[in-house]
């Protein structure tokens, strides 16, 4: 499969995987695969399947590849429920706890490369927030205080930012678009896409009070708007990567 470096902007298509390189494996999964007998054995009197977040497997002689599967509570066959299975022309009740496995993987760890398709599900198993952060309160304040921007009420602006807005702000700060392009260029470029940007008497971009208008501005600054070179049709994208 084709692999694409993860940056939080692109949703992979079928046949594509995102990859986080130099991933730090806090649980030493590869070491466990190489030496499985060194791990404490499961004891139903001590351990609970209800605490399981994921299941992983690998081949001790298969290199550093670890296959990881998300485990959800709905796949748990617990003794407190009535679970039955058909065998020998009859139904029998399960006397022990069990589980069912999914038919697809969450991720594959190969050496220091963590390959996956869904960051949303990946973060349910691994702490990967360092690879894609929402803007913190400090980041939001710094954004609102940028020389090219102005907010009527910075405190209210910070309080009104949603999770989606904070992700956009983080990406905008990361790209440095406000440092690379003057306000006049940003305003002029936004007009064909019907993104109406208001400016202050000091020539700053006014951050809108309306959540919908603010999100529209943030999406424009994060370059979600584009025009087809063939038909000149304008689009808004929620997934993108730099063309090869």
* pLDDT 10s digits, 117-163: 999 899 899 988 788 778 999 999 999 999 999 998 888 898 889 98
Query: Tens digits of per-residue pLDDT, 61-95?
Result: 766 899 999 887 766 665 566 667 677 787 776 66
63 shares its domain with 145: no
In the listed set 100, 131, 162, which residue is the last one of a domain according to the structure?
A: 131
Question: Does residue 183 share a domain with residue 125?
Answer: no
Q: Is 56 part of a structural domain of the chain? A: yes
Of residues 193 and 73, more confidently modeled: 193
Pick the last residue of a domain from 107, 131, 155: 131
Residue 165 domain-assigned (yes or no): yes
Residues 103 and 146 placed together within one structural domain of the fold: no
200 with 109, same domain: the answer is: no
Residue of 109, 104, 102, 103 lying closest to 128 (CA atoms): 109
The dihedrals phi and psi of 77, each to the nearest 5 degrees, come to -105, 95
Q: Please give the pLDDT value at position 82.
A: 61
Question: What pLDDT, on the 0 to 100 scale, is given for residue 61?
Answer: 73
Residue 163 lies in a domain: yes
- Domain count across the chain: 2
**Does 227 lie in the same domain as 160?**
yes
Residue 116 CB partners (closer than 8 Å, separation 6+): 17, 18, 19, 20, 106, 107, 108, 122
Q: What angle do CA 93, 99, 101 make, to 5 degrees?
A: 130
> How does strand 54-57 pair with strand 65-70?
antiparallel
Per-residue pLDDT for 202 more than 90?
A: yes
pTM greater than 0.85:
no
Tell me what pLDDT residue 221 has: 97
Is residue 19 a part of any domain in this protein?
yes
Shared domain for 211 and 174, answered yes or no, is yes
């Amino acid at each position: 499969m084709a692999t694409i470096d993860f940056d939080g902007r692109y949703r992979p298509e079928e046949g594509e995987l995102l990859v986080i390189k130099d991933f730090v494996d806090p649980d030493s999964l590869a070491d466990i695969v190489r030496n499985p007998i060194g791990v404490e054995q499961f004891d139903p009197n001590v351990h609970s399947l209800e605490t399981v977040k994921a299941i992983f497997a690998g081949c001790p002689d298969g290199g550093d590849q670890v296959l990881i599967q998300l485990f959800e509570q709905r796949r748990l066959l617990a003794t407190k429920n009535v679970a039955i299975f058909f065998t020998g022309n009859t139904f029998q009740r399960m006397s022990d706890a069990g589980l069912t496995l999914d038919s697809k993987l969450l991720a594959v760890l190969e050496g220091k490369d963590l390959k996956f398709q869904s960051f949303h599900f990946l973060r349910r198993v691994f702490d990967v927030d360092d690879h894609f952060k929402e803007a913190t309160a400090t980041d939001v304040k710094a954004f609102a205080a940028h020389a090219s921007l102005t907010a009527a009420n910075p405190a209210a602006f910070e309080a009104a930012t949603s999770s989606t807005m904070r992700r956009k702000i983080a990406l905008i700060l990361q790209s440095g678009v406000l440092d690379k392009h003057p306000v006049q260029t940003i305003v002029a470029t936004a007009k064909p896409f019907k993104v109406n940007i208001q400016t202050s008497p000091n020539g700053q971009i006014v951050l809108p009070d309306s959540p919908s208008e603010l999100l529209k501005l943030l999406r424009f600054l994060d370059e979600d708007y584009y025009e087809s070179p063939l038909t000149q049709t304008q689009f808004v994208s929620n997934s993108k990567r730099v063309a090869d």
